[in-house]
Amino acid sequence: MNAPTLAQLQAEFKSYLFSGSNEAAFAPCIAAGNGINATRRLDVYRNAYYIRLQEALAHDFPALLIDMGEAAFGREMAAYLKACPSTSPSLRQLGERLPGYLLSRNKAHWADLARVEWAILNAFDAADADALTVDDMQHIPPDAWQVLHFALHPSVSVLEVSHHAFDVWAAHHQKQALRDRQIHETVPLLIWRSPGGPTIKPLSIECHTLLVALGDGQSFAQACEQFLAFIAPDDIAQAAAGSLLELLQSGCLSIQE
């Protein structure tokens, strides 16, 4: 039998690290050394690999680590890495599927917390774009507002999560004790990169409605129609103008090309 090529060994080693399903066939390809057999030598690499990946996840999801506790976090992340192995040479995308994985395991609160922390990571390194300002709006003709489309800044995420998940994140971020849990309440959040860095704030129902509609590609006029669900028709213009002003001042909008 021909000896495996370097490429074949690398592929088998990768399969061993990710699943371990080929351990029996792969171990004979590894030489023993210093009195340590092949299986134990391989275990050193596999354990080091998963420890490093779990350290990366702990770095990216610090509030989740605190809320879970180290033991539960270790178990959950080990299971996550088995179910959703890394597909990129970069550690940056390692936690991308974690919110969905936790939700599939009926751990909705932890999934929400992971969504918040993942959105913060995205806000940190999202592409740059010029934000629309209040002064910019003065140059838009009145007859253009009916068909005006806004784009969200690339760093923007609009989430609706459990209030407790937000409270856990806020307590960790501010290094404060956690407030009483509000497990059954939800809160809409805007997460984006402001001049000071990744920023998160709760949204009013008006701002949330406007952002979701604009993010779905609706025109400003169409987005304003969504306000009919909770605001009297005569009050929509003022509510929409106030919400738009708040979003412009936050620096999270641009004109869609």
Residue 76 CA to residue 97 CA, distance in Å, equals 13
Specify the pLDDT at position 40.
74
Q: Does residue 101 sit in the same domain as residue 210?
A: no
Residues 129 and 92 in one domain: no
pLDDT value of position 200: 95
Shared domain check, 141 and 97: no
What residues of the chain score a pLDDT lower than 70? Answer: 1-2, 19-21, 23-27, 29-38, 179-183, 255-257
Together in a domain, 99 and 126: no
Domain around 41: 1-106
CA–CA gap between residue 127 and residue 124 (Å, rounded): 9
- pLDDT for the residue numbered 182: 58
CB 22 within 8 A of CB 13: no
C-alpha distances out from residue 3 to 8, 30, 251, Å:
10, 12, 60
- Which pLDDT score, from 0 to 100, does residue 24 have? 67
Model confidence, pTM:
0.85
Phi, psi dihedrals of residue 180, rounded to the nearest 5°: -55, 140
CB atoms within 10 A of CB 45: 13
Instruction: Report pLDDT digits (tens) over 8-47.
Output: 777 777 777 776 667 666 667 666 666 666 677 777 777 7
Same domain? For 152 and 250 the reply is yes
Here the CATH number for the domain that contains residue 156 is: 3.90.930.50
DSSP code for 231: S
Whether residues 101 and 126 share a domain: the answer is no
Tally of domains within the chain: 2
pLDDT of residue 176: 80
